[in-house]
Amino acid sequence: MKFSTIKVNGLDVFYRESGDNSKPTFLLLHGFPTASHMFRNLMPMLENDFHVIAPDFIGFGQSAAPEHTKFNYTFANLTNYVDGFLDAMGIDKFYLYVFDYGAPIGFNIATKYPERILGIVSQNGNIYQEGLGKKWEGRKDYWQNPTPELRESYKSAFQPATIKGQYTGGEKEGSVSPDGYTLDIHYTESPDYAERQSDLIFDYQSNVANYPKYQKYVKDYQPEIIAAWGKNDPSFVYQGAQAFAKNDKNAEVHLLDGGHFVLETHWQEIGQLILNKWAK
């Protein structure tokens, strides 16, 4: 395993990398509130068969985190930096693993460069209205009427108890290691964290608006997709996984007995699904 940074548009992007770069690349895109460390168990399982690489988005993990007044924290802009990261690393064709926030970023890239995508794993990475849990109803009201009071109220998403609950919710008691959520809680203590993340909560509406574009890509290109979903996730409900199959004859759906961070407890199962499908 290698840990390094590379300059993208003048900012440091941190990444984890393992495997032989002569083999097919697997690009792993994390979500909120985590970073590339969410793949710490999966990467060793894939490294014998793939060149595996996982960057931290700008504003997350170990990557640069400019103040929200000096950087445009939108999903389109985060996509630009992942796109620039791929260019800087010389990565052309690749498999794509998307989770949570990584889904709109990954599908932004897939719709822009469909010929570069070898296959997709969506782990609680939603692109369908039916995959939005009940909490999103309140956020739609916020998007339509973005008062300072509502912006402040959504900062509860960054509280330690909320983050721990995202990991442990829907999982068997005692099955989730504290490593992941403890590090994520630490990252919330960085300067300006709540403000930059609040910008992204507000901008998530752009992803919902793009769902038809993402779905058209799936319908038109019929990529091989593994939808491996924690079926107990209240944020992105399992109907979002099932929706892939109605648009794509090459999609397979696996509903796992876990929550939003199902990779924490089912990484071996998800890794084996990947190896069974794509390892040579």
Catalytic hit among 37, 68, 260, 266 = 260
Pick from 185, 180, 210: which is nearest to 39 by CA?
Answer: 180
**Which helix (H) or strand (E) covers residue 201, if one does?**
helix 193-221
Q: Give yes or no for a contact between 245 and 251, defined as CB atoms under 8 angstroms apart.
A: yes
Contacts with 23 (C-beta within 8 Å, 6 or more apart), sequence order: 49, 50, 51
**Which tokens belong to 91?**
């990565």
Q: DSSP letters of 97-153?
A: EE-TTHHHHHHHHHHH-GGGEEEEEESS---SGGGB-THHHHHHHHHHS--HHHHHH
266 is catalytic: no
- By annotation, the residues acting in catalysis are 260
